[in-house]
Amino acid sequence: AVGLVSLPALAEKAAREKPVEIAADNAEVDAKTKTTVFKGQVVSTQGTLVIRGDKVTMHDDGKGRQAATALGDPATFRQKRDGVDEYIEGRGQRMDYDSQRQIIQLRDNAEIKRGGDWARGQLIEYNSENGTYREVGDTPRAEGAPAWSGGRVRAVIQPRSAPATPQGR
């Protein structure tokens, strides 16, 4: 079962223009492959986006596209929503981030939260550009079924108040 939920959860747009700051216990840099592996209580911050993990591997393709893979128990992210005082948070055993597409994929016991809303599944793909996420279930798929056809997903979406309408309409 695959779910696609579109909630107004746009990430803060100014954040992607800010530098990435990383703190870790140690780092190994490979200039030839443009890859850096950070280990030990890694915290990566870019604007309001904060990614935490036990190990974070970052790769720069030399054309302005950066990708990161965070592993942890769990790896987590937190990001402020654009225009409101609210954050969206996610977690999974593995997290993949694509800076150009503004996509975060959470894998293995994945969960995403915004206010009182949450969703859980085996894979959650969050698009901070348009505020949508896609979920893939956490139970085994049937033999011969497509790879994306995992089991059931779980979600809770809180009721929203309808905007007040003027009297006489």
Q: Which two tokens stand for residue 66?
A: 């950066």
Per-residue pLDDT at 13: 56
Per-residue pLDDT at 132: 83
Per-residue pLDDT at 160: 75
Per-residue pLDDT at 63: 81
Helices (H) and strands (E) in the chain, counts: 0, 11
Helix, strand, or coil (residue 16): helix
Per-residue pLDDT at 151: 66
For residue 115, which of 23, 26, 8, 33 has the smallest C-alpha distance? 8
Per-residue pLDDT at 168: 55
Per-residue pLDDT at 145: 57
Q: What are phi and psi of 43, to 5 degrees?
A: -130, 115
Q: What are phi and psi of 17, to 5 degrees?
A: -90, -5
pLDDT along the chain (169 residues), means of 10: 39 66 95 94 92 95 86 94 86 93 91 89 88 74 56 78 61
